[in-house]
Amino acid sequence: MEARLNAQQVSPAAYTALVGLETFVRKASKLEPSLVELVKMRASQINGCAYCIDMHSKDARSALICNRTGHRIL
């Protein structure tokens, strides 16, 4: 099996910027955590990364566990 790309090693500056953006969105915006997870899941679908889709769908499911709408979405 081919190893996955390690973004932190390939481009540390881009990785740091990405983490900074997520931190800003989570702390400074009024978006619900479940919505942030759904956006990340959709971005992974658009990118076609099965690993990321799996990871973000699990995170979204955890964020939406008490939400009936979440069960219908996932």
pLDDT in tens, 32-47: 888 888 888 899 899 8
C-alpha–C-alpha distance, residues 13 and 7, integer Å? 10
Distances (CA, A) of 46 to 13, 25, 27, 56: 23, 20, 25, 13
pTM of the model: 0.67
Rounded to 10 degrees, what is the CA torsion of 20, 23, 36, 44?
30
Average model confidence (pLDDT) across the chain: 82
Per-residue pLDDT of 52-73, as tens digits, reads 888 888 888 887 765 555 555 5
